[in-house]
């Protein structure tokens, strides 16, 4: 077991390079299994536990993988002949559900154990299933697995009942090798959705409209390998931007697409921080007192749910009352109890966190209750008086590459320690 130990109080200064997007990479890697000839060479893959999990699943399904470096994989899916994703890794993470769409698309059948992931809400997959069925697949759930099978997949119109990142990507993947045209409406527009469409197009797919409300997929017969670089991580970038503002620092967040960060930049500016945009960099400075603000999470281009928890840490020390309304997940305020152990003054009523800015946070032993909660606790440790120890950091390792090294390079006093048991 490991913990992060942080001695708070240091300003963050300098620059940090953002890695490729977790939520793009975790869809691109399963989708690579659809190439029936050639190899996919994918770079800018974040070196995180969710990616390591997917690598193991791909190998189990018969892919040959060469690790070129920590951020680049060469995947050869030519010899895949197993359609049953049934290892513990599949159950451990959310994105394993992309193997349903990818295997169904290429082989017209799949059996994939139901996915796990962060405990932030109910997380149904009914919209994925609705899309697969519309394309002509039979879908059953039995013995904790999703089984899909089709004689052939035929393009269809699908209007999603909710805006879902996962369902948009999964049904887009499945439609790629269907006969004819599929029109997906009320889709998610997140940068990672666009990135997966770009990756599929690089393999030979014909997908138009990703990033708008309607995606049109014209089925092609087969896909082949390609070279691809994963889009920068909007959420990792947002986390560092918030940490910079929280410590009153001056940080260049590099290797980003500033457009993807606009909702986060706008909120920081509304609070009184300065955000300067360069071509592939944002500089965040906060040298004067910040103001309380209200935030409501919504699908892209709105304020991302995945940055809401780090933002609650920042707001916990901003004078006045801030409200955070979480509209995507019903259970994404669990980290608030941990922040309270550090002196935060926050009440949760349903989906709303009512934050009354405290004078300061003080170090304590706290838990990373999920991935972004973990990031929120790291920022809390950075601004707290004294020492903070964060437990259950395996959640953080699932999605943030080498988080302690990146913060240490910015001047934080943070280290990883081993402990016998939690
Ligand atoms: N939903 C349904 N039915 C479905 C699918 C989703 O009702 O079939 C609902 C969900 O319950 C939720 C809303 O739709 O209320 C949005 O869920 P979505 O499908 O967009 O979420 P997801 O694909 O499971 C991805 C990210 C999450 C991120 C959300 C929202 C991955 C692997 N995960 O989840 O990321 O919060 O989109 O942007 O891409 C994280 O990175 O920390 C994380 C949790």
Domain 2-19+232-418 in this protein, CATH class: alpha beta
- Is 116 in contact with 91 (CB distance < 8 Å)? yes
Q: What is the number of the ligand 1 atom nearest to the C-alpha of 117?
A: 44
Residue 389, token pair as written in the block: 């120890």
Binding site listing: 22-23, 94, 123-127, 306, 328
At residue 142, φ and ψ (nearest 5 deg) are -150, 150
Residue closest to 389 by CA, chosen among 403, 378, 399: 378
Q: Which of 119, 160, 162, 237 to mutate to test the pocket of ligand 1 (most atoms within 8 A of CB)?
A: 162
Q: Which of 22, 131, 139, 164 to mutate to test the pocket of ligand 1 (most atoms within 8 A of CB)?
A: 164
Q: What is the number of the ligand 1 atom nearest to the C-alpha of 120?
A: 44
Q: Are strands 35-37 and 223-224 parallel, antiparallel or unpaired?
A: parallel
| pLDDT value for 286 | 96
Calculate the alpha carbon distances from 16 to 8, 253, 277, 398, 407 in Å.
19, 5, 15, 19, 8
Sign of CA dihedral 335, 338, 339, 345: positive
| pLDDT value for 402 | 96
Beta partners for 300? none
Task: Give strand ranges (E) for 164-320.
Answer: 181-185, 206-208, 214-218, 223-224, 227-229, 250-254, 274-277, 281-285, 294-296
CA 126 vs. chain centroid, Å, equals: 20
Catalytic residue among 53, 63, 118, 226: 118
Quick check: do 2-19+232-418 and 22-229 share a fold? yes
Residue closest to 84 by CA, chosen among 54, 107, 111: 111
Residue closest to 102 by CA, chosen among 114, 94, 110: 110
Nearest CA to ligand 1 atom 18: 164
Distance CA 241, CA 235 (A): 10
Distance CA 220, CA 217 (A): 9
| pLDDT value for 422 | 62
Spell out the residues 6+ positions from residue 265 whose beta carbon is closer than 8 angstroms to its own.
241, 258, 275, 277, 282
Per-domain residue ranges of the chain: 2-19+232-418, 22-229
Sign of CA dihedral 130, 86, 19, 195: negative
Distance CA 389, CA 348 (A): 24
Count of residues making up the chain? 422
pLDDT (tens place) for every residue of the chain, 422 residues total: 999 999 999 999 999 999 999 999 999 999 999 999 999 999 999 999 999 999 999 999 999 999 999 999 999 999 998 999 999 999 988 899 999 999 999 999 999 998 876 676 668 899 999 999 999 999 999 998 999 999 999 999 999 999 999 999 999 999 999 999 999 999 999 999 999 999 999 999 999 999 999 999 999 999 999 999 999 999 999 999 999 999 999 999 999 999 999 999 999 999 999 999 999 999 999 999 999 999 999 999 999 999 999 999 999 999 999 999 999 998 899 999 999 999 999 999 999 999 999 999 999 999 999 999 999 999 999 999 999 999 999 999 999 999 999 999 999 999 999 998 76
The CATH code of the domain at 22-229 is 3.65.10.10
Distance CA 283, CA 243 (A): 12
Distance CA 250, CA 273 (A): 10
Residue 136, token pair as written in the block: 């002509």
Counting Cα atoms < 13 Å in the Cβ hemisphere of 45 gives 30
Beta partners for 352? 325, 349
Residue closest to 169 by CA, chosen among 229, 102, 230, 124: 102
| pLDDT value for 385 | 98
Q: Are strands 365-367 and 352-356 parallel, antiparallel or unpaired?
A: unpaired
CA 123 vs. chain centroid, Å, equals: 14
Q: Give the Cβ contact number of residue 8 at 10 Å.
A: 23
Q: Are strands 64-69 and 109-113 parallel, antiparallel or unpaired?
A: unpaired
168 lines ligand 1 (CB under 6 A): no
Sign of CA dihedral 363, 368, 372, 375: positive
- Three-class SS state of 174: helix
| pLDDT value for 120 | 66
Distance CA 55, CA 59 (A): 6
Stated pTM of the model: 0.97
| pLDDT value for 81 | 87
Burial of 419 (0-12, 13-18, 19+ CB in 10 A): exposed
Distance 412 CA to ligand 1 centre (A): 32
Q: Which residues of 202-234 are buried (b: 16+ CB within 10 A; e: fewer)?
A: bbbbebebbbeeebbbbbbeebebbebbbbbbb
């Amino acid at each position: 077991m490991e913990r992060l130990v942080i001695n708070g109080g240091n300003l963050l200064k300098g620059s940090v390079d953002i890695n490729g997007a977790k939520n793009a990479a975790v869809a691109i890697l399963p989708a690579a299994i659809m190439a029936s000839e050639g190899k996919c060479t994918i770079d800018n893959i974040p070196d995180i536990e969710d990616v390591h999990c997917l690598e193991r699943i791909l190998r189990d399904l018969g892919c040959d993988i060469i690790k070129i470096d920590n951020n680049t994989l060469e995947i050869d899916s030519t010899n895949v002949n197993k359609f049953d994703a049934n290892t513990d890794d599949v159950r451990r993470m959310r994105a394993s559900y992309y193997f349903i769409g990818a295997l169904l698309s290429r082989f017209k059948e799949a059996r994939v154990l139901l996915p796990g992931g962060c405990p932030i809400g109910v997380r149904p997959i009914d919209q994925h299933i609705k899309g697969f069925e519309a394309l002509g697949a039979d879908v059953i759930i039995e013995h904790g697995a999703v089984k899909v099978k089709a004689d052939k997949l035929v393009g269809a119109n699908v209007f999603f009942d909710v805006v879902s990142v996962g369902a948009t990507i999964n049904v887009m993947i499945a439609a790629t090798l269907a006969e004819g045209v599929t029109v997906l409406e009320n889709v998610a527009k997140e940068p990672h959705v666009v990135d997966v469409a770009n990756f599929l197009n690089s393999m030979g797919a014909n997908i138009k409209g990703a990033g708008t409300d309607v995606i049109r997929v014209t089925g092609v017969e087969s896909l082949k390998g390609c070279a691809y670089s994963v889009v920068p991580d909007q959420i990792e970038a947002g986390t560092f931007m918030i940490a910079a503002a929280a410590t009153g620092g001056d940080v260049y967040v590099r290797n980003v697409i500033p457009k993807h960060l606009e909702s986060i930049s706008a909120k920081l500016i509304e609070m009184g921080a300065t955000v300067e945009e360069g071509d592939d960099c944002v500089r965040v400075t906060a040298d004067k007192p910040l103001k309380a603000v209200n935030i409501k999470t919504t699908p892209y281009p709105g304020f991302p749910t995945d940055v809401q928890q780090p933002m609650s840490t920042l707001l916990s020390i901003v004078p006045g009352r801030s409200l955070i309304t979480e509209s995507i997940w019903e259970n994404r305020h669990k980290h608030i109890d941990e922040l309270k152990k550090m002196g935060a003054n926050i009440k949760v009523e349903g989906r709303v966190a009512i934050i009354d800015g405290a004078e300061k946070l003080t170090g304590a032993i706290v838990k990373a209750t999920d991935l972004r909660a973990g990031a929120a606790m790291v920022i809390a440790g950075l601004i707290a008086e004294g020492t903070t120890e964060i437990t259950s950091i395996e959640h953080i390792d699932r999605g943030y590459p080498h988080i302690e090294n990146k913060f240490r390079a910015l001047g934080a006093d943070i280290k990883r320690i081993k402990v016998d048991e939690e």
